[in-house]
Amino acid sequence: MFAQRTRLALPLAILFVVVLSGCVAIAPTAPVSASEIPVDTQTSPQTVEITVPSNSTEIDSLLYMREEEKLAHDVYVALYQEWGMPVFDNIARAESQHMDAVLQELTARGIADPVAGYEPGTFANADLQALYNELVAQGSESVVAALTVGATIEDLDIADLQEALAGTSADSTRWVFENLMSGSENHLRAFVRNLTRYGETYTPAYIDSATFDSIVASNGVVGGPQVARGQGRGVQWQR
């Protein structure tokens, strides 16, 4: 299910926000309290051992998630440089932890790092390269567009993790994906809160509305993966 992926395009919500942003002044960056800055913990399975042999589905998931987490990290770094909002800087650092957790699992299986040698903003996967270019361009249009890009990345990331978990049996890999899921939920909440400060809302494009509402309403308690499966990799960004 990971062999071929269609090119992704941003959802209509981002394009609509970008158009509106040209007509109104951007409000000053809203302060973000310490409690609203996501800090991920326990993202490296230092005490968990692989309990079953590797399978191709799990390997494909790990390889893709390693690069997808890099995409999130690199986009957030670029948007922090553009707008100076702490939420992008802090979530970019959290994404580095996510990348490290996936790399540790790949290394334990004797699998080479798919992004070794790739500079920030460059990717082995052509679709992710095109997506990075588009996301940074869209997020550079306005603060609201940037925050919407962030929410959309986490929306898609959660959907992909739901799909990955459905095909994962190794305890250590499930541990990694579940922790990445919790982190992505924290990040989604942070972006939605910041959008609210600008009088904007976010409509999920990949996870279902019930799952989205549950995540946003949560206080960030770490839990298992959501049961409902979203539409992630292999589905175009909806216009």
Phi and psi at residue 99, to the nearest 5°: -60, -45
What is the C-alpha to C-alpha distance for residues 79 and 76, in angstroms, rounded to an integer?
5
Residue, of 159 and 237, whose pLDDT is higher:
159
Domain layout of the chain by residue ranges: 54-217
Q: With bands split at pLDDT 50, 70 and 90, how would you rate the model's confidence at 218?
A: confident
Of residues 39 and 112, which shows the higher confidence score? 112
How confident is the prediction for the chain on average, in pLDDT? 78
Please tell me the predicted confidence (pLDDT) of residue 153: 97
pLDDT tens for each residue of 37-62: 454 544 444 433 433 345 688 899 99
Lookup: tokens for 23: 């007509």
- Percentage of the chain with pLDDT > 90? 64
Q: Which residue did the predictor score with more confidence, 128 or 228?
A: 128
- At 169 the pLDDT is 87
Tokens of 187: 């990040």
Chain centre to alpha carbon of residue 202: 15
Q: Which helix (H) or strand (E) holds 45?
A: none
**Mutual angle of helices 126-139 and 12-21, in 10-degree steps:** 30
Instruction: State phi, psi for 191 to the nearest 5 degrees.
Output: -65, -40
Low-confidence winner among 76-85, 123-132, 218-227 (lowest mean pLDDT): 218-227
Helix, strand or coil, per DSSP, at residue 48: coil
Predicted confidence (pLDDT) at residue 91 exceeds the cutoff of 90: yes
Q: Is the pTM of this model over 0.75?
A: no
| Chain segment 20-35, per-residue pLDDT in tens | 344 333 344 444 443 3
Does residue 84 or residue 234 have the better pLDDT?
84
Give the lowest-confidence range in 52-56, 116-120, 178-182, 205-209.
Answer: 52-56
Indicate if the pLDDT at residue 230 is higher than 90. no
pLDDT computed for residue 20 by the predictor: 36
**Is the pLDDT assigned to residue 16 strictly greater than 50?**
no
Alpha-carbon gap, residue 93 to 84, rounded angstroms = 14
Whole-number pLDDT of residue 112? 94
Residues 6+ apart with CB under 8 A from 39: 90, 94
**What CATH number does the domain located at 54-217 have?**
1.20.1260.10
